[in-house]
């Protein structure tokens, strides 16, 4: 692995760089579920005893920063995929906390320069500190040749 | 004998398929293929041994690689430990001429894959870079092709006298076997596959529709 | 047949094909809902100027379709994970369909793995991914 990427990994990997509180609005989560084509009532009906946000809803929540404040810019960033992991339901009507960290950094090297892949993870917790879910955003930055 | 010559497992960064699930899928769906070659991106998976899995399922499971050149992606069959030391498989700017020459020196067979695809296919670059020397075979049926990508590959292969292979380029279990290559020989190991490819005794087949 | 327990699931079973609402109106409404800026989600001509074939459906909405499809098939399914690879944009106002098949079953943990593929009407894969769900035993 390139020395500068090794250094960036050492400096940023798995260290929280942002914490943000999100109020989970039932009106938004129900509309979100409806637009996705959900049919299960627990995502659509606020009166349902197991009412919860659609599992992918957390992927729409972004922190105040997408990357650490002084994280090096290698080039223009592009979306390279998304993943979610769910541990417990996200309950609308209550706030949750999202903590962001860089989960992985790796490169591919090409004729037009390096491509730097960054996986940014937000871990979501409820008010009791229960870990509810993770949302990963994979992005790639294309670096210009020197 | 029909083999899918282009598949990816979870060993590839964008692969989501477990090899045992490929086997289970092929058998449960009674796919008309006898095995597949794992061609992981920018690497040769030395350590994985699928012989028990292959035997249990009555399938041929072989290992190759998919490397990246200035002309796009290239499948390599017949990778040896010495070949993995001859160039850096992880780079995405390998010179195609070097890959072809080095593969041939090591008894391996290079096959540019999805050559009709923009950016990562060989024919996307021939206008700018010229027709590369030494190419004998290209992949003409790719399970992930969009629009007229396969037709571009077929037309150019015919014009340039290349032979054509087929492979699914599967990254998830249910995409395996969409395209494949039919051999007249009975192929049980990589040496037999390399011989058949070198001899040109094969035809690309598609099961996409 | 809707799925109630893991005992109802067989390896290789196909989920009912799902036809998501990929209209521009829905894509725009969704982008507004999650406060995503960008003409690419709202206007075909504007998206073309950005190099797309037309306005595109937000990636997260594509993920949402996949999960909705799973719940249509197996209402009690709890989604454990969804991992998507965007191969090409889903173009708004083009018709798309989503197919899903069961590719792994872990009866002990009550988990099922599903391959999911979003294709357009030319049968081109635009998005693929896998989901792991948990079902009652």
CA distance C12 to chain A (A): 23
pLDDT tens for residues A101-116?
A: 999 998 876 545 677 8
Residue span of the structural domain in which A122 resides = 3-24+60-143
ipTM, interface predicted TM-score of the complex: 0.95
Task: Specify the pLDDT at position B31.
Answer: 97
CA distance B171 to chain C (A): 9
What does the pLDDT average to over B84-88?
Answer: 95
Task: Specify the pLDDT at position A113.
Answer: 60
Q: Strand B35-41 vs strand B137-142: parallel, antiparallel, or unpaired?
A: unpaired
Q: How many domains does chain B have?
A: 1
Both structure tokens of B4: 């899918």
Task: Specify the pLDDT at position B3.
Answer: 98
Residue span of the structural domain in which C116 resides = 6-21+60-134
What is the strand order of the sheet B2-7 is part of? B109-112, B72-77, B60-69, B35-41, B2-7, B179-183, B202-206
What does the pLDDT average to over C59-81?
Answer: 96
Q: What CATH code is carried by the domain that includes residue A85? A: 3.10.129
Q: Which of A83, A119, B204 is nearest to C59 (CA)?
A: A83
- Chain A partners of B92 at a C-beta cutoff of 8 Å? 108-111, 115
Give A53: exposed, middle or buried? Use CB within 10 Å, 0-12, 13-18, 19+: buried
Task: Specify the pLDDT at position A107.
Answer: 80
What sign has the CA pseudo-torsion A33, A78, C51, C122? negative
Domain annotation covers residue C103: yes
Q: What CATH code is carried by the domain that includes residue B191? A: 3.20.20.140
Q: How many domains does chain A have?
A: 1
Q: pLDDT tier at C65 (50, 70, 90 boundaries)?
A: very high
pLDDT tens for residues A1-50?
A: 678 888 999 999 999 999 999 999 999 999 999 999 999 999 999 999 99
Domain annotation covers residue A34: no
Task: Kindly state whether A118 is in contact with chain B, defined as any CB-CB distance less than 8 angstroms.
Answer: no
pLDDT tens for residues B96-107?
A: 999 999 999 999
CA distance B3 to chain A (A): 30
Beta bridge partners of B165: B139
Q: Strand C78-86 vs strand B202-206: parallel, antiparallel, or unpaired?
A: unpaired
Q: What CATH code is carried by the domain that includes residue C73? A: 3.10.129.10
CA distances from A142 to A79, B101, C10, C79 (A): 12, 30, 43, 33
What does the pLDDT average to over A74-79?
Answer: 76
pLDDT tens for residues B16-66?
A: 999 999 999 999 999 999 999 999 999 999 989 999 999 999 999 999 999
CB atoms B28 and C115 under 8 Å: no
CB atoms C71 and A43 under 8 Å: yes
What counts of helices (H) and strands (E) characterise chain C? Answer: 3, 4
Closest Cβ–Cβ partner in B14, B70, B90 for A111: B70
Domain annotation covers residue C71: yes
What values do phi and psi take at B122, rounded to 5? -60, -45
pLDDT tens for residues C11-48?
A: 999 999 999 999 999 999 999 999 999 999 999 999 99
Residues of B with CB under 8 A from a CB of A: 14, 42, 68, 70, 90-93
DSSP state, residue A89: P
Among chain B residues, the shortest Cα distance to C124 is held by B146
Mutate to test the interface with C, among A56, A80, A104 (most CBs of C within 10 A): A56
Q: How far apart are CA B137 and CA B77, in angstroms?
A: 12
Mutate to test the interface with C, among A22, A25, A31, A37 (most CBs of C within 10 A): A37
Q: Strand C78-86 vs strand B163-167: parallel, antiparallel, or unpaired?
A: unpaired
- Chain B partners of C130 at a C-beta cutoff of 8 Å? 16, 172
Q: How far apart are CA C4 and CA A65, in angstroms?
A: 41
With beta carbons less than 8 A apart as the criterion, state whether A114 and A31 touch: no
pLDDT tens for residues B125-179?
A: 999 999 999 999 999 999 999 889 999 999 999 999 999 999 999 999 999 999 9
Q: pLDDT tier at C123 (50, 70, 90 boundaries)?
A: confident
CB atoms B93 and A115 under 8 Å: no
Residue span of the structural domain in which B121 resides = 2-206
């Amino acid at each position: 692995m390139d020395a500068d990427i090794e250094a960036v990994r050492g400096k940023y990997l798995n260290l929280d760089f942002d914490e943000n509180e999100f109020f989970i609005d039932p009106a938004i989560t129900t509309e979100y579920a409806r637009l996705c084509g959900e049919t299960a009532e627990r995502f659509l009906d606020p009166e349902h005893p197991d009412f919860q946000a659609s599992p992918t809803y957390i992927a729409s929540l972004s922190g105040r920063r997408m990357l650490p404040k002084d994280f090096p810019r290698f080039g223009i960033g592009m979306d390279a995929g998304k993943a979610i992991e769910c541990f417990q339901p996200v309950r609308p009507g209550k706030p949750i906390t999202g903590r962001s960290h860089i989960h992985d950094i790796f490169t591919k090297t090409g004729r037009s320069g390096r491509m730097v892949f960054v996986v940014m993870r937000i871990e979501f917790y409820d008010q009791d500190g229960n870990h509810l879910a993770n949302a990963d955003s994979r992005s790639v930055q294309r670096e210009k040749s020197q | 004998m029909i083999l899918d010559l282009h598949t990816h497992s979870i060993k590839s960064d964008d692969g989501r398929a477990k090899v045992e699930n490929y086997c289970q899928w092929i058998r449960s769906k009674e796919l008309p293929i006898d095995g597949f070659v794992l061609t992981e991106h920018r690497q040769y998976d030395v350590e994985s041994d699928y012989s028990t899995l292959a035997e249990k399922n009555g399938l041929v499971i072989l290992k190759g690689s998919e490397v990246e050149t200035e002309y796009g992606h290239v499948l390599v069959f017949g990778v040896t430990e010495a070949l993995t030391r001859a160039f850096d498989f992880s780079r995405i700017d390998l010179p195609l001429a070097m890959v072809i020459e080095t593969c041939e020196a090591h008894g391996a067979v290079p096959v540019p894959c999805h050559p009709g695809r923009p950016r990562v296919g060989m024919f996307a670059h021939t206008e700018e870079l010229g027709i590369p020397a030494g190419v004998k075979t290209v992949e003409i049926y790719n399970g992930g092709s969009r629009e007229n990508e396969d037709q571009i590959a077929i037309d150019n292969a015919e014009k340039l006298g290349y032979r054509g292979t087929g492979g699914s380029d599967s990254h998830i279990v249910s995409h395996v076997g969409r395209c494949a290559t039919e051999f007249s020989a009975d192929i049980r190991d990589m040496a037999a596959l390399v011989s058949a490819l070198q001899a040109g005794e094969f035809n690309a087949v598609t099961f996409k529709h | 047949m809707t799925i109630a327990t893991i005992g109802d699931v067989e390896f290789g079973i196909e989920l009912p094909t799902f036809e998501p609402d990929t209209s521009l109106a829905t894509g725009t409404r969704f982008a507004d809902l999650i406060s995503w800026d960008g003409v690419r989600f709202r206007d075909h001509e504007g998206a073309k100027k950005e190099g797309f074939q037309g306005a595109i459906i937000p990636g997260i909405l594509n993920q949402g379709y996949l999960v909705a499809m799973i719940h249509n098939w197996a209402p009690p399914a709890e989604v454990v994970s969804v991992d998507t690879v965007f191969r090409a944009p889903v173009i708004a106002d083009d018709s798309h369909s989503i197919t899903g098949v069961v590719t792994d079953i872990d009866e002990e943990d009550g988990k099922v793995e599903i391959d999911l593929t979003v294709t357009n009407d030319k049968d081109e894969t635009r998005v693929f991914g896998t989901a792991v769900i948990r079902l009652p035993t």
